Amino acid sequence: MGKVIAGATMSLDGFIADRKGDVSRLYPDLEALRNTEALQESIRTTGAVVIGRRAYAMGDPDSYVNDYEYQVPIFVLTHAVPERLPKQSERLTFTFVTDGMESAIRQARAAAGDKNVTVVGGASTFQQCINAGLADELHIYIKPLLLGEGLRLFEHLDLEPIELEITRVIESPDFTDLRFRVVKGN
């Protein structure tokens, strides 16, 4: 069985969006990001994605079938299923999960088989995964940028301190990729 990997890109001061909710400063060149070894590795090892509703709706969901990096089953964590479902393909499907993070992860694990479940999109989704104790690894991409204010990635963690073990650090001019294993209690 694969791992549950929660990943996000943030500024050095811990923000995943500026005060207006804009993420463009963190992702100035999406095409260059797609060509990084870190993302290519994630694409190869991911069997399913869990994404928050706001992150899902940031782009045109109909374009995901041709353009989204992860051409795998996608589980959208939401309070309500949209009236119009997006385009899907044989590889990329959407399941709208209204009964919580645990259910989304359980369904994604079943769909992923031996591959990983990648949790992306939004501080709330990331925090729910951490708070539920479901993440096996954290992949944090730090952009060399200070936003000063905005949406913090680690703002609403309500657990006891979480011990992490550094498993990998990759440096590039555009970001530093930090990977951690979540040390779980016995």
Q: What is the pLDDT of residues 108-148, one digit of tens each?
A: 999 999 999 999 978 999 999 999 999 999 999 999 999 99
**In this predicted structure, what is the pLDDT of residue 149?**
95
Predicted local distance difference test score (pLDDT) of residue 58: 81
Predicted confidence band of residue 38 (pLDDT cuts 50, 70, 90): confident
Mean pLDDT of 24-44: 79
Q: Which residues of 43-57 are buried (b: 16+ CB within 10 A; e: fewer)?
A: eeebbbbbbbbebbe
Confidence check: pLDDT of 186 > 60: no
The answer regarding whether domain 4-174 maps to CATH 3.40.50.12160 reads: no
The pTM of the full predicted model, rounded to 2 decimals, is: 0.91
Helix (H) or strand (E) holding 102: helix 101-112
Model confidence over 72-100: pLDDT tens digits?
A: 999 999 999 998 889 999 999 999 999 99
Domain ranges of the chain: 4-174
Q: How far is CA 117 from CA 45, 98, 159, 169, in A?
A: 9, 18, 22, 21
pLDDT(163) > 60: yes
pLDDT of residue 100: 95
Residues of the chain with pLDDT > 90, as a percent, come to: 64
